[in-house]
Amino acid sequence: MEEQVPFVDLNAMTAEVRPQIRAAWDGLLDAGQFVGGPVVEEFEGAWARYCGTTRAVGLANGTDALQLTLRALDIGPGDEVVLPAATFVATAEAVVLAGATPRFADVSPDTLLMTAETLEAAVTPRTRAVIVVHLYGQMADLGRLGRFADGAGLALIEDAAQAHGATWLGRRAGSVGRAGCFSFYPGKNLGAFGDAGAVVTSDDVLADRIACLRDHGRAPGSHVDHVAIGTNSRLDATQAAVLSAKLTRLDDWNTARRVAATRYREAFEYGPVRMVEEAPDARGVYHLAVVRVPDRDRLRDKLAAAGVQTGVHYPVPCHELEPYRRYATGPLPVAERAAREIVSLPMFPHITEDQVTRVCKAVREASGGFGE
Ligand SMILES: *Cc1c(COP(=O)(O)O)cnc(C)c1O
């Protein structure tokens, strides 16, 4: 049988930065510094500069980035937070963990991202914040949406866990709203060798509050003075060293993802399989390369038979997942239909031209029978 085209392959990225990480880890072993410290601060500074904010607060994971941002903004019981139904479950989970109530919004049929209109339809007098999700690595249009959020007095929080380095009107993901929340889970565009996350913001008070919450509510500079009920969500120095090394490669890796995505887009231009569309002013970083096709499962079976691995992100919209159904307020037809039609194709920075060619050919052959 022909060699498989993997859905994702992280090994080539690791190989590029292995010497720097080895050296940095040797330094940490010598210093005996494993949580927090100068290596974490160095990454926080570099990540804030990269995103175009004044501050970055390193955390244990992306779910905490969302949850602690909400808590730091005093959003909790009795408050509603609007988020798109088309997202990874962690966005909704963070709202519930903060004690607030998630309200699910529908998405654009072209980009599968939240819009000003779908946000407006979900807002109630109890709404205090909106979490816009830059799904698959593409920033949502934050122009009209941002103005609507401002006008309604809502805190705009960006879930940029899939969008490291993506831009909208030249502004980096995470830098437009009140705060931008990142995950550095290994498979993300910037990934650690374990779990990690961060919040970026140019609001010093907010950054200080999140830094306090991540470290058991400690007062800044004190080990024994606890001024808030916090948690333990600190960033490991070992992971910060990995992230600093990989950050030097992030732009090149994102460019490589875009090259592969452009080839997919051109190959499927005439359907019936179609790439999710790019928004006009956004430059996506293709965390995932997602196409839509009416008979999704048949396409996946045929691709699997041709040795092409695929995924589905995500097969059930959040408001239809059992634990979240209680928060659903009605059908969200665009998100529901998309969940039945989406397929994620192989996508990673070191995917070869030959692998992309094989995927395109396999998709064309598999979709021949779908009809126009
Ligand atoms: C990965 C992800 C998260 C959660 O990040 P973790 O580090 O796994 O906690 C949140 N939102 C989105 C959209 C994600 O893709």
Question: 270 alpha carbon to ligand 1 midpoint, in Å?
Answer: 33
Instruction: Pick the closest to residue 163 from 194, 193, 132, 130 (CA basis).
Output: 132
> Cβ distance 272 to 367 under 8 Å?
yes
Residue 371 zone, left/alpha/beta (φ > 0; ψ -120 to 50; rest): left
CA 123 – CA 141 distance, rounded (Å): 18
221 falls in which pLDDT band (50, 70, 90)?
confident
DSSP 117-142: HHHHHH--TTEEEEEEE-GGG----H
- pLDDT, tens digit (0-9, with 9 covering 90-100), for 240-270: 999 999 999 999 999 999 999 999 999 999 8
CA 337 – CA 364 distance, rounded (Å): 23
Per-residue pLDDT for 367 more than 90? Answer: no
372 falls in which pLDDT band (50, 70, 90)?
very low
Instruction: Pick the closest to residue 349 from 259, 246, 243, 267 (CA basis).
Output: 259
369 falls in which pLDDT band (50, 70, 90)?
low
Strands (E) across the chain are located at: 55-59, 80-84, 101-105, 127-133, 155-159, 167-168, 171-172, 179-183, 197-201, 274-275, 282-283, 289-292, 342-345
- DSSP-assigned letter for residue 237: H
> Cβ distance 1 to 338 under 8 Å?
no
How big is the CA angle at 249 (ends 287 and 198), to the nearest 5 degrees?
60
Give the nearest ligand 1 atom to 63 CA. Answer: 9
β-pairing verdict for 155-159 and 171-172? unpaired
Q: What is the pTM of this model?
A: 0.97
| Domains of the chain listed by start with CATH number | 11-247 (3.40.640.10), 250-366 (3.90.1150.10)
Tokens found for residue 197? 């996350």
Which of 95, 162, 193 best tests ligand 1's pocket when mutated (most atoms within 8 Å of CB)? Answer: 162
Tell me what the mean pLDDT of segment 15-23 comes to. Answer: 98
Per-residue pLDDT for 271 more than 90? Answer: no
Residue nearest to atom 2 of ligand 1 (CA): 161
Tell me what the mean pLDDT of segment 182-209 comes to. Answer: 98
Tell me what the mean pLDDT of segment 3-27 comes to. Answer: 97
Q: Is the CB of 91 under 6 A from ligand 1?
A: yes
Q: What is the pLDDT of residue 1?
A: 57
CA 181 – CA 195 distance, rounded (Å): 14
Please report, for residues 84, 85, 323, the alpha-carbon distance to residue 319 in angstroms, rounded to integers and kept in the order given. Answer: 9, 6, 9
370 falls in which pLDDT band (50, 70, 90)?
low
Per the prediction, the chain carries an average pLDDT of 96
- pLDDT, tens digit (0-9, with 9 covering 90-100), for 285-343: 999 999 999 999 999 999 999 999 999 999 999 999 999 999 999 999 999 999 999 99
Question: 161 alpha carbon to ligand 1 midpoint, in Å?
Answer: 5
Q: What is the pLDDT of residue 371?
A: 47
Tell me what the mean pLDDT of segment 57-65 comes to. Answer: 98
Tell me what the mean pLDDT of segment 351-361 comes to. Answer: 97
Give the nearest ligand 1 atom to 196 CA. Answer: 7
CA 295 – CA 152 distance, rounded (Å): 40
Which of 88, 233, 347 best tests ligand 1's pocket when mutated (most atoms within 8 Å of CB)? Answer: 88
Question: 181 alpha carbon to ligand 1 midpoint, in Å?
Answer: 9
Q: Is the CB of 182 under 6 A from ligand 1?
A: no
- pLDDT, tens digit (0-9, with 9 covering 90-100), for 114-162: 999 999 999 999 999 999 999 999 999 999 999 999 999 999 999 999 9
Tell me what the mean pLDDT of segment 336-361 comes to. Answer: 98
SS3 23: helix
Per-residue pLDDT for 60 more than 80? Answer: yes
